[in-house]
Structures are given as structure tokens and as C-alpha cells.
Amino acid sequence: MNEIKDVSKSNYKWVGKRTRRPDGPDKVTGRAQYGDDLVLPGMLCGKILRSPHAHAKILSIDTSKAEALKGVKAIVTHKDIPDHALLEPPFGPVIADFYDITRNVLAREKVLYDGHAVAGVAATSDRIASAALKLIEVEYEVLSHVLDPFEAAQPDAPVLHEHQFTNGVTPAPEKPSNVFRVVSTERGDLEAGFANADIIVEREFSSEPVHQGYIEPQALIASASEDGAVELWTTTQGHFVIRGLCSRLLNIDMSKIRVTASEIGGGFGGKNNLYAEPLAICLSQKSGKPVRMVMSRSDVFRGTGPASGTYSRIRMGAKNDGTIVAAEAEIYNQAGAFKGSPVGRSLDSFFSSYAIENAKATAYDVCVNRPKVAAYRAPGAPMATLGAELTINEIAEKLNIDPIDLRLKNAVQDGGESLCGVKYGRIGLNEVLETVKSHPHYLAPLKANQGRGFALGYWMHGGGLSSVNANLLDDGTVSVATGNPDIGGSRSSMRVMAAEELGVELENVKPIVADTGSMGYSHLTAGSRTTFATGLAVINSVREIIEKLRALAAKKWEISVEDVTWEAGQAVTHRDGFESLTLKQLAGMATKMGGPIAGHSEINACGAGAAFSAQIVDVEVDPETGLSSVKRYTIIQDAGRAISPDYVEGQMQGGAVQGIGWALNEEYFYDDEGHLLNSGFLDYRMPVASDLPMIDTVIVEVPNPNHPYGVRGVGEPPLIPAPAAVANAVENAIGRKLGSLPLSPPKVLKAIETGMPRES
Amino acid sequence: MSKYLISANINGDEVDFACYADQTLMEVLRENLHMTGTKNGCGSGDCGACTVIMNGRPVNSCLVLGAELQGADIETIEGMSKGNELHPLQQKFLDHAALQCGICTPGFLNMAKSLLEKNPDPTETEVRFALAGNLCRCTGYDKIVRAVLDAAEEMRTTTS
């Protein structure tokens, strides 16, 4: 069942209505062109040779036999890609170190994970390219490796980067370390807080790396021309970002690279990064032909993503009345082969739903011999939330307080701030928690072997850089071009907002995702920023058109523009003797009375809102096999305002199901040599339709005051509390403490037989 | 390596193509015939994105060889709508917002069409099990299952 609780009782023509998406017909008929669907004349097939070792020195690469194979047109190794200097401190929250990026794109001195790209080949056919890969001779010296972040942080662990010394510790270390940095945030007096506590709960947690699991593998075509220009077609969450990265990495003028985003078959953060693009550009430059590169599913698992695996410790103290007086957290985030795990977002995610006077969180960014981690839907948050929320539930149980009441007692209020100091404006946390408390699911009885879990998640949404061009056409229709790939219905929400502003029918607005040559910079479709930030730019652009239309009507009527208003798609004046002019009439006269009408907006959107997602889940555990089945699931989330409720619900449902997979099934298996054993969907077990019930949603609408329609963003929060909620349900079903994801049947069975009982 | 010359019936049209012995139906459709509505998610029969209907049965086209197709009847997503009229399943996928990124959609539509041909009145559980070989990472399946159930109801009403 899906409900909407609109706190502000709004009344719009299109906003909040269930409308069909503009790109829908192309996607149900097979017309939509994804990364792998474009064909260019004369195009070559590109393939990547990947490391067979988890950690090894590259002694030599001999490509001569492969080059001699008929049909092979170009080969690239690290020698063909420029090197870059190592980034120096201070380091920002998000690190783009081209020293690392160039080495991740193609290994130089060492290979750092099974599947690390070593060379690229372009040939006239798939078969010849595959044959050429086998003819490339690479000599390795195998080194010992480490896969676990906690083990990798120990002083005797094999070191990936001899030049890396831990940042953020004093005294400065003398030995290189896999720990790139230690970051922390703190408020109040932690020890005084614990001294004041009536009870203290302390627990350990771990979570495995999980892949974003988009169904469309990375795929692209690069075409370099004789004059140095590069055309790139790729499946990405940010074609402007890809342009910038390729330009800097390959030393090509930014204006010479034009990137077109294909339709994107899922990303979830995993398509924010560079992988094969620079190789394909180099292969095209060398061969003079367009080069298509498509990853196999095995390439995707071995070479891209995942989210960080983690080890964490949580300690929380509370008074007997439920007031949480102290909270401390520590987390080791696996970064993969290169620094840059989402430590900042982990810190901010532990306790930021609560007003805890004394709190501290510390995070370690740890390199291990696995693929470099990529963003995955609320990067850093679900794994921090796992420990914090399970600990809070244990406090509630120990104090015999309802877990929602405990949270209401400690909930952060309007004007409060997150643990990292992010200031909240108007937030919907109380409304979300009150909705949980009265929800039929929360009050429903459970059956035998079932447990109910609950968890709360927090996310501060993104704003940032967005550009929009809106053009009024002669027939009165409007094209709205954004620079954001449409990953889950953003064209629909852009169209809704534009049509709402203009007061016209949806069919009169055509949303477009434009290429990098056509308009100003737009940041990634990521961080739940697009409907908020790019939406603001759409509204600005359309309002500029409306201003110009008012001026045009004033000119036509020979009256002052102040006397013209825009109402329901028409220019109107209160003065007598003038008949309103429709958008269509004005569009028809524009070119004859001054010229074409367009609006554009280039912004750095600020004021994105914080949002909270609360989740209730019932899990049934088979006591004989340890198999956990989700029986009922309800998501209650503040979306600010749902522009397109169908797609808001879709985000909530999809995010929660990713969390179910994270909690119950998904993990990587490696052998003793560090080879990934399950690089396919058969053994990397994502949830399927028969695993699941319907996923109920309640959209709570507490509008964000910094957006004309109150948008907060919706994509990240639904994943954040899901692993914690599911784990809590399994704990309650079997009466044992569980802290190590995934809760696979053998692990649950072992916990039933020998696990630590829950204290009452 | 020599090629096989094959004549098959694709979406009601006789189509001739030449393919290598190791080329899959998915490759033939996508690479030889440029019918890219059939999607490649894994190439190993684990995701269902390349599902087409072969001689009345749903198959992962990445697990069928092109050389096996002499005289075969193949239905792909490109043949699902009739002229400009969408199939009820296509309509319902749009009405229920049963797609986000859309990459898995052609496979789901073909699998659901096969289900409803065999079982015009499936329960929710039957729909879920029929679609269990098709992965979707965006939707959590809720809206897909609703769309299929709603399409089944509409198709029963219009045919009875």
C-alpha cells in the first residue's frame, strides 16, 4: 500500500500527480539507446586485459605478438597514458588524485587487485580482440595481499602503496601504511557523558563490500578525429564529469572533448567514475577509428565498484529515562586499491538523527587489494547506520522503552545539526516517527519464527552545479535541456516542474538530456541532487521565459509590463479591453516582434534539505536452515515534496530492496590468492521477485523551504536504514545478537545454535 | 571459421542472416541485425535482460546459438506493439511506473507475456516466481508485479 501524507495541503496542476514518464514509450519498445546500442561506421571492438593477481609487481609487458595478429589495430598500456603527480595535503572530503586515477585506469608499477586493467586492445572483431589479449605477455612478481580493512590497518599487513603515510595522526608515522587517513568529529565531553550514563551498550559490527549491481554493464564508444577532437558516447551518471576527468587525465583541451550520455541502465553511484573511457580514447587516437568497449559482467565485478566493506565499533550510554548522553563510534572503511572511501559521510551518519550532547566518531580510510570503491547510494551511510541503529535498539530493549519512543525522546529538532555540524532547517523527523508509531504495520501481530525490525536513516542531500537551457518554440511548445542523465525518472520531474510553472499541458514540454557541447556544466546525477538542484535551474529557466512573455504581451498591448501577469498558461492584464494571450499565440508572434525566446540558468544550488527514512520490516527465519525471508516491509520517509510520486515510491522501494540484499545475501568470495570467485549474477545473489513481498511506502511531505515546491531529494535515504532494519528483525526472530552482514543462512544457523543470547 | 546461413521468422518477418557457430541469438539480434531492444546484462543466463520468445517459449537469448534458429519463430521486444498500439503489458508498465532505468524492461515484458499466455489469471506469487529469473536493481519489483497483475486483468476482460 502506498500513501502520501502532505503536511502542507498543497494544490498543484501537475506537481504530485501520477503522470506517465516522457521517456517511457521508448523504454518499453526497445527503442531507447543505452551504452551498448550505438553503432558507428568502421567501429572497432576494444577489450581490456586484466590482472590475474591480487597484488604483483609488473616486471614487463610485451605486446609484440598481439600487435602482429591480423585485425589488431591498436594496443595501449600505461606508457600511452600520461602520469600525474601525487596529490599533496590538505585533502578535501572527496579526493580526485590523478596519480591514482591514471593507475586505476591502467596499472603502472603494480597490479593491486584481481581484475586490475593492464592493457587495452582494439581489433576489427570481438574474436580477434579476445585472441589478442591472450598474446600479450606480462611478467609479474607476485606479492602478498590483504583483503580485509581491519587486517589491512595493522602494522604487519602487506603495504599497497610505499609512498602512503597515514594522514591525521600525531606523531606523523615513519612507516608507510594502508591507512590513508584517520578523520574524526566530536562534540561535548565524551567521558563525562559516559560517566553520567545509567547503562552503556558496546558492540562490534562488520559488513561486506557490495556491488551496485546495475544491470547494464559499462559501455561506450570513443571516436578521435585527426584534428584532436574526441567524441565520446558513454553510459554515465555525469557526462560533464567524464569530460573533465578525461581532459585532465589525457591532457586534452576540455573543449575538444564532447561527451554524450547514452540512456543509462542503472548506476546507483557506480557510474560516477572513469573506467574504460581513457583507454577507448587512446585506442581511437592510435587506430584512427571509433572504438567500442563493453564490459562483461565479470569485468564489472572484478574491475568496478563496490561499496566499502567495513568493521565498526559502537559504544552508547543512556539514562534510565532513555536520554542518550554519550555515543562513540569507530569505523574502518575499505577503500579498495586506492584511497578515498566515503569516511566523511560515515562520520556524519552514525548519530545525526539524534541530539546527543556528547558524541565522537572516527573513521579510517583503508586500502586493500580489491577494486577501488565507488559511490553506492548514500555512500558511507548504511554501514555506519547499521551499528548505530542496532545499538540504539538494544538500549531500548534494555530500558524497556518502545524503540520509536526512545527515538522521539532523542530526535534532533528543527535548527539542530548533524554530528559533522551540518545545520538543519525545517526537518520532518518527528512527523516520520509519529507516522511509524501509528502505522498498522508497527502494531500488527507477528507469527512464529518471525521478528520485527526497525531502523532510522538520515541523509543530507546534495545541491551543487546545474545548468539548464529552455527554448520556446514557434508552436508554443517548450524544450527543456538539462545536463543530467535520467537514471530513474528525472525527465518526468523536470517536465512536471516546467509545465507547472508555465501552466501548460505536460505534452507541451519536451525534456532533453543534452551533450556537453550544448550547454553549461552540470554535476553528476547523484547524491539525490537532480530533482532539487537541476529542478531549481529548470524553474529559473522557465521563469525567465515567462518574464520575456510578459514583456512581449506588454509590447503587443502597448502597456507597461507591470500590468501583465502570467496565469494558467496565459498573459493576462487587469486593464480593460485586452484579451488574454496564450503561450501558443505569444510564441507565434515572438520571432516577428523581437526574436526567439529562451531561458537559461547556471547555478550552484544551496539549501538542499536533510531527510529521514524510517523502515519497519518483518522477517521469518527458518530455524532448520537459517534462511531469512522478508514478509512485510514499510518505508516511511520525508521526501519534502514528491514531484512524481510514482518515481519517489520507486526510489524508496528499490533502495530498500538493495538494503535487503546487503543485509541477507550479497557478498564477494575470494580464494586464498585473492581471486574473486563469484564475478557473476548467479553467485553474487541479488534479490529477485520471488524473494520479496510488496514494499509499502508512506511519503511524508514536510516541504523544504529552500525549493519552490519543497523538494528535498529521495534516492539515498531508503537504502540507509534497510540493512540495520533487516538485521534487527532477524535478531528479534531468533533472539540472538547479530552484527556481521550478510546474514546468510549458515551464519544465522550458527547464531541460533551457538550465538550470544539477547539479554532482557 | 565459416558461417552458417540461417532463415528464421523474427516478429513475423522472414529474416536471413549468417552467423558463426559460437554466436548466440543475443549477438545475432544485437550485432548482426541491429535489433538492440534485446539487452545484454550478463551473457550467462543469470539476469534475464535478453529474454525473447522462441517457438512460444521464453529463452535467455544469450544461451541459445544463432545456428540453431533455422525455421525458428522468434518474438523480440521490437515486435511487441502492433503498429502504434502498445501491448497491454507495455501500457501497464507505463501506467504503474514499473520501470526506472528501463534496461531490464524488454526482458520482463517478454517473460510476463509468456506467463500470461500460459496462465491468464496468475496469483501474485505465481507472477513473482515466473519473473524470478529476471533481475531488476531499480524498482524492488513491487510496481512490476502490480503492472503484470493489472495487465492480466485487463487482458482477461478484453478477451472474454
Dump the DSSP string for A34-97: BTT----TTPEEEEEEE-SSSSEEEEEEE-HHHHHSTTEEEEE-GGGS---PPPPSSP-SS---
Cβ neighbour number for residue B114 with a 10 Å cutoff? 19
The string of pLDDT tens digits covering residues A124-171 is 999 999 999 999 999 999 999 999 999 999 999 999 999 999 999 999
CATH of domain B4-79: 3.10.20.30
Average pLDDT of chain A is 96
- Contact A29/B37, CB-based, under 8 Å? yes
Question: In the prediction, which pLDDT does B1 show?
Answer: 74
The string of pLDDT tens digits covering residues A20-51 is 999 999 999 999 999 999 999 999 999 999 99
B88-159: what fold? DNA polymerase; domain 1 (1.10.150)
- Contact B43/A681, CB-based, under 8 Å? no
Nearest to B102 among A32, A297, A688 (CB): A32
Give percent of chain A with pLDDT exceeding 90.
96
Domain with CATH 3.10.20.30 in chain B: 4-79
Nearest to A215 among B96, B129, B135 (CB): B135
Distance from CA of B85 to the nearest CA of A (A): 11
Mean pLDDT throughout A517-527?
94
Mean pLDDT throughout A346-356?
96
- Contact A487/B97, CB-based, under 8 Å? no
Question: In the prediction, which pLDDT does A462 show?
Answer: 86
Taking the Cβ of residue B77 and every Cβ of chain A, the question of whether any pair is shorter than 8 Å is answered with yes
Nearest to A654 among B94, B140, B146 (CB): B140
What is the interface pTM, i.e. ipTM, of the complex?
Answer: 0.98
Cβ neighbour number for residue A754 with a 10 Å cutoff? 8
Q: Rounded CA gap, A543 and B31, in Å?
A: 46
The string of pLDDT tens digits covering residues A602-650 is 999 999 989 999 999 999 999 999 999 999 999 999 999 999 999 999 9
Question: In the prediction, which pLDDT does A584 show?
Answer: 96
- Contact A689/B138, CB-based, under 8 Å? no
The string of pLDDT tens digits covering residues B95-138 is 999 999 999 999 999 999 999 999 999 999 999 999 999 999 99
Taking the Cβ of residue B131 and every Cβ of chain A, the question of whether any pair is shorter than 8 Å is answered with yes
> Which residues in chain B (80-119) have CB-CB distances under 8 A to chain A?
80-81, 86, 90, 93-97, 99-106, 109
Give percent of chain A with pLDDT exceeding 70.
99
Is B128 within 8 Å of A695 (Cβ atoms)?
Answer: no
In chain A the domains, ranked by start, together with CATH numbers, are: 1-8+426-460+610-760 (3.30.365.10), 464-605 (3.30.365.10)
- Contact A654/B43, CB-based, under 8 Å? no
When pLDDT is cut at 50, 70 and 90, the band that residue A758 belongs to is: low
Tell me which amino acid residue B45 is: G
When pLDDT is cut at 50, 70 and 90, the band that residue A755 belongs to is: confident
Question: In the prediction, which pLDDT does A5 show?
Answer: 86
Taking the Cβ of residue B50 and every Cβ of chain A, the question of whether any pair is shorter than 8 Å is answered with no
- Contact A650/B139, CB-based, under 8 Å? yes
Residues of A in contact with B103 (CB under 8 A): 34, 214-216, 263, 265-266
Q: Rounded CA gap, B113 and A297, in Å?
A: 27
Find the Cα–Cα–Cα–Cα dihedral A64, A66, A71, A75, rounded to 10°.
-80
Cβ neighbour number for residue A111 with a 10 Å cutoff? 27
Number of helices (H), then strands (E), in chain A: 20, 27
Mean pLDDT throughout A403-426?
96
Intervals of chain B under pLDDT 50: none
Question: In the prediction, which pLDDT does A760 show?
Answer: 41
Name residues whose C-beta falls within 8 Å of residue A90's C-beta, 6 or more positions apart in sequence.
none
The string of pLDDT tens digits covering residues A183-211 is 999 999 999 999 999 999 999 999 999 99
Mean pLDDT throughout A590-598?
95
Q: Write down the pTM of the prediction.
A: 0.97
Question: In the prediction, which pLDDT does A497 show?
Answer: 98
Residues of B in contact with A19 (CB under 8 A): none
Domain with CATH 1.10.150.120 in chain B: 88-159
Buried b (16+ CB within 10 A) or exposed e, A184-211: ebeeeebeebbebbeeebebebbbbbbb
Mutate which: B1, B136, B137, B139, vs A, most A CBs within 10 A: B137
When pLDDT is cut at 50, 70 and 90, the band that residue A361 belongs to is: very high
